[in-house]
Chain A
Amino acid sequence: MKLIAEQIVKRFGTHLILRNINFEVRSGSSLVITGANGSGKTTLVKILSNLIAPTRGRVIYQNEKGSIPRDHMYRFIGLVGPYLQLYQELTAQENLVFFARMREVSDYKNRIAFLMERLGLKGREKDPVKAYSSGMQQRLKYVCALLHEPEILFIDEPRSNLDQQGVDTVYEILSEQKKDKILVVATNDSEDLRLADQIIKVGN
């Protein structure tokens, strides 16, 4: 699997956010996007994950069969970010079952149980998401993003709201992801740079 960014440009009105971003990431490697606040890290993650369109340029997902059409890209993506929320009225289990079935995860009950235990949320499956603390919600977002073992995992601010134990678990997961799949991390924390095989600095 390859993730290719070609000449990505993004403008909001007259404000130029991203100019000519080019890179290629292959399975088994990682990319860290770094830069100051407001430099366009989140915008680039949203463009790469097909949530917003670039003003110019294109994002290509390529596997052994060729380029993947834009409307099928979502099948290959897992994304954790502060702007992605889960359904607050539903319980964690209801959220996860919904996303797992949408992703056509086989044996989703065992997968959910495994990930909930790994992220330290076992026993809280039947609580509504709105009853979760911000740190627990962040852990739940990881569970949700990892359900279908995505080929490309995007993480925007990996440490956000997590305690030290949560950060350690997340680092383990991210290290596993980059062994045979693609990992893209957006961060302005210098410690996250140790996850990087490639680094892109955006802004200025």
Chain B
Amino acid sequence: MKQTWLIFVKDIQQEFKTRYAINAILLFAVVTLSAVSFAIGTFTAGSQVLSALFWVILFFSSMSGLSHIFIREEESQTADTLKLVASPMHIYLGKFLFNLILLFALEIILVPLFIAVMNFKLGNFPLFLLTLFIGSFGMAGGGTMVAAIISKASSKGALFTVLAFPIILPVMITGISATKKATETTPIASAQNELQALFAFGVIIITASILLFDYVWNE
């Protein structure tokens, strides 16, 4: 686990110096939120629509930054250097941890903005936070794996969103359903199925990624 932590710390150091990924996802989130807000105008969207909009903005914003973690290694020709010092599993877990923190940072900015701008009313805020927390593991896990796959391709940007969408779709569908329930004053137990599905998806995608990462990372 020490190697995983060292890779994560190295990526954080690099990110603090370039601020590429954090700027990309935050700017994308703010611009998309503004566009959606202007598009809706005075129309009062229901909780189902707002829940879906929130997850769509979260998905596309994260897509603008999650791939950077591997593209940076390939473009700066440091991927081979990293291969020489760490096992594939530690590399995947270090990058996953970085993307997870990036996603949490995005959510910390996006959630209050979305609530304020879209007049999004939550009846059960803890359920909403729990949904986001568990869902982030699946999104970061799937996003990190797809980022590793597309980092070796020539048209990286377009491919990432296209390939990540079907993989992360279960998180979005379940997340939208749980978020809709969080807008009502229902107990957390009412979204038990959704939370279990999000948790199971996160465990499966992370485990599968660890097992398969060696084949993606090494030629």
Contacts and interface: CB of A to CB of B under 8 A. Distances in A.
The judgment on whether A and B are partners is yes
Interface of A: 46, 49-53, 71-72, 74, 77, 79, 83-90, 94, 98-99, 101-103, 144
B81 A86 contact: yes
B119 interface: no
B6 A98 contact: yes
A89 B81 contact: no
Nearest to A141: B81
B77 A74 contact: no
27 contacts: A46-B80, A50-B83, A51-B84, A51-B219, A52-B218, A53-B218, A53-B219, A71-B87, A74-B87, A77-B84, A84-B77, A84-B81, A85-B77, A85-B78, A86-B78, A87-B14, A87-B76, A90-B10, A90-B14, A90-B17, A94-B13, A98-B6, A98-B10, A102-B3, A102-B6, A103-B85, A144-B81
B210 to A, nearest CB: 13
A74 B83 contact: yes
Contacts of B10: 87, 90, 98
B18 interface: yes
B88 interface: yes
Contacts of B212: none
Contacts of B87: 71-72, 74
A87 B3 CA distance: 17
Contacts of B84: 49, 51, 74, 77, 79, 84
A17 to B, nearest CB: 14
Given A98-B10, A102-B6, A88 B76 contact: yes
Interface of B: 2-3, 6-7, 10, 13-14, 17-18, 76-78, 80-81, 83-88, 214, 218-219
Contact of A99 (B85, B88, B218): B85
A23 B16 CA distance: 46
A71 B214 contact: yes
A51 B214 contact: no
B86 A83 contact: no
Among B14, B76, B78, B84, the one with the most A-chain Cβ atoms within 10 Å of its Cβ is B84
Contacts of A51: 80, 83-84, 219
Contacts of B88: 71
Given A53-B219, A86-B78, A88-B76, A74 B17 contact: no
Contacts of B13: 90, 94
Nearest to A103: B85
A50 to B, nearest CB: 8
